[in-house]
Structure 1
Amino acid sequence: MKKRKLLIHATLLVLVLALDLYTKSFIQHTMKQGESHVLIKNFFSITYVKNTGAAWGIFSGHTEIFYPITLIAAIAIIYYFVKSKSALSRWGLTLVFAGLLGNLFDRVTLFYVRDFLDFIIFGYDFPVFNVADMGVVIGMGCLLLEIIIEEFKLWKYKQSKQV
């Protein structure tokens, strides 16, 4: 990979990480645990939550579980980033890595993750999350899209060989 492209990915990683850490710090210093401010009724609130687990509260109170998982994930992300020839995959891996680092920072320094984005979607009160989580989800979406694109190309190729 060329240095220029690597620099662009590093810049994205730093920007997402900085936005994540800044927003979490701002919420932590301006709100109390459990405090909520409705911005769009029945849709979006800012709610400060100290999350000692993962999404939907799984493994709550067991922060130590996440350290080896995070290390393995980080190694895998770096490995696939270096090996990948796909720009979309690299963008996805960059976003996932930024999210991983943002939540790892919280777990190492605070022993919990600061969450604050609170949505109700079609009546379902979605788990509260943060910018790092957005990076992970959008990044995984990029990786999924890459898989779909590659499978479609393979399918088209196989179809052309049958004619």
Structure 2
Amino acid sequence: MARRLRPVGLDFVGTAPVRLVFARDVSAAPDAVFRALAEDVPGWPAWFSAVTLARPIGDGAGREVRLRGGARFVETVLAARRPEVYAYRVDVTNTPGARAMAEEWRLTPAGTGTRVRWTFAADGTAPFRFVLDRARPGLGRAFRDAVTSLDRRLSHP
């Protein structure tokens, strides 16, 4: 059953009760990574294996995302500042126990490539927070695999 979450701003990424932060360097330039994240939303399933559907809604002001396993999200884009940051909050989800969620992708130059830092920020019931804490290694692996796949995709279009 889909539920509306508490609307949060970009500051939530730094203050959420649960913050999972992962980073990886890629060879692609920040502008190319930003384009893949923010402008080619339908392309996410090609490089992020957990994503089965991603599409912009509201003329790009939001997104609809579906994950393997059945999780669904309707999101609002909070920031799309080329080429540094792409962030969004979850407005509606079927994820049990969630109260607020936001994600931020921060891109910084790293030599000739990019340092990609993904922050997953959330609040929810105690069982929800417990599950997220235990999911940290799996989410980290999913992030590393996705960013590696994205880098390959951007290097060999």
TM-score tier by shorter-chain length is under 0.3
Normalised by the length of structure 1, the TM-score is 0.27
TM-score calculated relative to the size of structure 2: 0.28
Structure number with greater Rg is 1
Q: Which structure's relative contact order is higher, taking Cα pairs within 8 Å and 6+ residues apart?
A: 2
Which structure has more helix as a fraction of its residues? 1
**Larger strand proportion of the pair:** 2
